[in-house]
Amino acid sequence: MKNAIIWGAAGGIGKALTKKLVDEDFTVVAVSRHPTEMKLITPHVIATDVTQPAQVTAAARMAGEMVPAFDLFLYTAGDIASIKIGEMTPGDWNRILAANLTGAFLTAQASLPFLAPEARMVFLGAVHERLRLPGLSAYAAAKAGLEAYVESLRKETRRKTLIIRPGAVDTAFWSKVPFSMPKNAFQPETLAGLIHAALLDGKEGLLDL
């Protein structure tokens, strides 16, 4: 049996991945701001805001006490907003970058001491080249920055890293943007299966799905 830690586990994709890994006999520690709904999926649940350094550090330590070491790290937290640059406040900008980029830094840094030597690190990215649209500057910048960050992380730690860049996914994100969800959008469960298959295949780097 392998062990996984999922940061942002209560989101649509995070929850689907938690269920998939539990079904594949992983022991999953689910970290989320909304822990109650995750307790029906895994008994190992920690309440944490991934944008708060002290909370992240404490959560990583708690998670490290639950299992000997993690074979898989997943960062699936995120947020989106459609706000034009001329109307965006510093708070708006910081919120989107914190959820999509700063949280990835904080959780990865805090988790490193608790990862097994051959552990994989997986981050949920986006095809940001297609998202450079009016209103999405903060989100597109955060996802582009995530790729640069993870590449540096890979070189520094010499760990296997993977950034998943999915197409449209049927999650609550679509209620936050003024676009219609494409008819061919993935269901989160479908995407979770594809991510698991990619892990079994040993995929690394960037993976467009």
With a CB cutoff of 8 Å and minimum separation 6, the contacts of 183 are none
| Domains parsed from the chain with CATH numbers | 3-208 (3.40.50.720)
Which phi and psi angles does 103 have, rounded to 5°? -60, -35
What pLDDT, on a 0 to 100 scale, did the predictor assign at position 174? 74
pLDDT of 125 reads: 95
For the sheet with 3-7, list strands across it.
45-47, 27-32, 3-7, 70-75, 115-124, 160-165, 205-208
Residues 6+ apart with CB under 8 A from 144: 128
> Is the distance from CB of 80 to CB of 139 less than 8 angstroms?
yes
**pLDDT tens track, the chain, 209 positions:** 699 999 999 989 999 999 999 999 999 999 998 888 898 899 999 999 999 999 999 999 999 999 999 999 999 999 999 999 999 999 999 999 999 999 999 999 999 999 999 999 999 999 888 889 999 999 999 999 999 999 999 999 999 999 999 988 878 777 788 777 788 888 999 999 999 999 999 999 999 99
> Is 198 strand, coil or helix?
helix
For residue 64, the model assigns a pLDDT of 96
- Determine the residue type at 30: A
CA terminus-to-terminus distance, the chain: 27
